[in-house]
Structure 1
Amino acid sequence: MRKNWFWPIFLIASAVILITSQLGLFSYHLSLLTVFFTLILVACLGSSLRYLNMSGIVFSVAFLAIIYARPLGITRLVPWTILGAALLLSIGLSMLIRPRYYRYHRSHYHHHEHHRDTEENVGTINDDHVNLDISLGNSIRYIHSEHFKSATLNVSMAGAKVYFDDVNIQDNQATISVDVSLGSLELYLPKTWQVQESISNSMGHVSTEGTPLTAGPGVTINGSVSLGELRIIYI
């Protein structure tokens, strides 16, 4: 199995930066809080670069620019200007460049085992009530359920694709709750689902692809999208 060098090198470099910053070896003094947020954002940037997740890349750079506005000489740019530009840039780049995990598009059930062998961030969830939290990474999840009731999906500074095409709704009603912040979430839904959306959008982007059929179980999608992207795709 191929060794993952990113996190060991990142943690070692983080320790060096933390110590040297407190010893005053940098010309620009860094507080512990600044170092902490810098390490988090750099980790997010590295993970996003690996999978070409445009939202993660752009917003990581944007927040780093806000933190280091003074040494970069961009103090005239207020944070909302930087974040607004980052939002527009991330949406535009996401339309042009798809994340690398797109090539693992599912076509048949027997492909699942192959996915798990080739990508550690791909998995299957067998549950009627799904709870999924994804942060600082990219994931693909396949939901299997004979009596699907609900799903709670939290995506923060990450990218996620969730497939519901192997799900049965027995009571003709289910709920999907989403919370997307500084990331992207794609929901792949059966065309037979009659979806009602109740989503709070704060400087984010919500879109729908495909056309559902006129009859089928009712599904409510609620929650919020903040500085992120939600795509609902009928398959």
Structure 2
Amino acid sequence: MKRKQFKKIFWGVLFLLGAAALLLGRLGYLEGVNFWSILFSIVLIGLFVDGVLNRSFGEILFSLAGLVILNDEILHLEAITPWPVLGAALLGTIGLNIIFPKHSKYKNHPAPPYPSKAGHFSQNTQEFVSGEEIRCSASFGHSVKYITGRDISRIILESSFGNLEVYFKDAALKNNRSNVLVECSFGNMELFVPADWNVTINVRRSFGSVEESGVGNLSGGNTLFLEGSVSFGHLVIHHI
């Protein structure tokens, strides 16, 4: 079974369990059990498995932290919730990413296939996007976007409970600059930027991490101005 198919089935089963818990709770079979705690626990378990499959330390540790916070009374771990366990998840994410850095797929592997003449991809999660203003998003899944075209002035990137990879392939910025709004919550985002571009990072972090791999061109040229927020997520900028 392919990973993508497995993830779809896994998430489908989790939400079916959530539906069953809702009905059983209304019928009184789950008396004394908070339905919302069950629902959020199911989602967090799904994120944990997704993090293991994608080797995302942030997703793994923060989903575990969320499970501990939701079930601290049952686990008798009230002394370390919520801030100590969240702080430990953040520091653990940073430490593991330093020890086991992700290597650029762009360098070590051939680029994913281009679309055929009919406009179809070999994988449904890949897409080429262009225009003066561009929006890319991923939610509960893995998505790969290739930004191309000319006169790009504004880019919006959103990842919520998902993994988003963005490649600036054959892209030309308007007046050699572009504003990039990043909104990453409970997800992961990786930007693959040409080595001769500069990236200015002004991103708010709420129990999230921002990492830059490699060094861009500080002397000028094309510049991306990153702003926005990373909450319980992970953002990596690769200079390739």
Does the pair score TM above 0.5? Answer: yes
TM alignment of 1:1-235, pairs within 5 A: 4-25=8-29, 29-96=32-99, 102=105, 107-108=110-111, 111-113=113-115, 116-117=121-122, 119-213=123-217, 214-235=219-240
Q: Distance in 1 between matches of 2:186 and 2:157?
A: 14
Q: Larger deviation: 34-43 or 145-154? A: 34-43
Q: Contact between 2:137 and 2:164, CA under 8 Å: does it hold in 1? A: no
Residue 46 of structure 1 deviates from its aligned partner by 3.3
- Tell me the SS of whatever aligns to 1:111: coil
Q: Contact between 1:162 and 1:187, CA under 8 Å: does it hold in 2? A: yes
Q: Larger deviation: 8-17 or 172-181? A: 8-17
- Tell me the SS of whatever aligns to 1:15: helix
| Percent pairwise identity | 26
Q: Contact between 1:56 and 1:158, CA under 8 Å: does it hold in 2? A: no
Q: Distance in 2 between matches of 1:47 and 1:104?
A: 24
Q: Contact between 1:52 and 1:97, CA under 8 Å: does it hold in 2? A: no
| Runs of 5+ unmatched residues, structure 2 | none
Q: Distance in 1 between matches of 2:216 and 2:100?
A: 26
Q: Contact between 2:162 and 2:188, CA under 8 Å: does it hold in 1? A: yes
- Tell me the SS of whatever aligns to 2:157: strand
Residue 24 of structure 1 deviates from its aligned partner by 4.8
Q: TM-score, normalised by structure 2?
A: 0.80
Q: Distance in 1 between matches of 2:207 and 2:50?
A: 23
- Tell me the SS of whatever aligns to 2:173: coil
Residue 54 of structure 1 deviates from its aligned partner by 2.0
Q: Distance in 1 between matches of 2:125 and 2:108?
A: 14
Q: Distance in 1 between matches of 2:86 and 2:229?
A: 18
Q: Contact between 1:44 and 1:137, CA under 8 Å: does it hold in 2? A: no
Note closer, same or farther for the CA distance 1:103–1:17 as it changes in structure 2 (3 Å cut).
farther
Note closer, same or farther for the CA distance 1:105–1:22 as it changes in structure 2 (3 Å cut).
farther
Residue 92 of structure 1 deviates from its aligned partner by 2.7
Residue 152 of structure 1 deviates from its aligned partner by 0.9
Q: Distance in 1 between matches of 2:183 and 2:197?
A: 21
Residue 149 of structure 1 deviates from its aligned partner by 1.3
Note closer, same or farther for the CA distance 1:22–1:46 as it changes in structure 2 (3 Å cut).
farther
Q: TM-score, normalised by structure 1?
A: 0.81
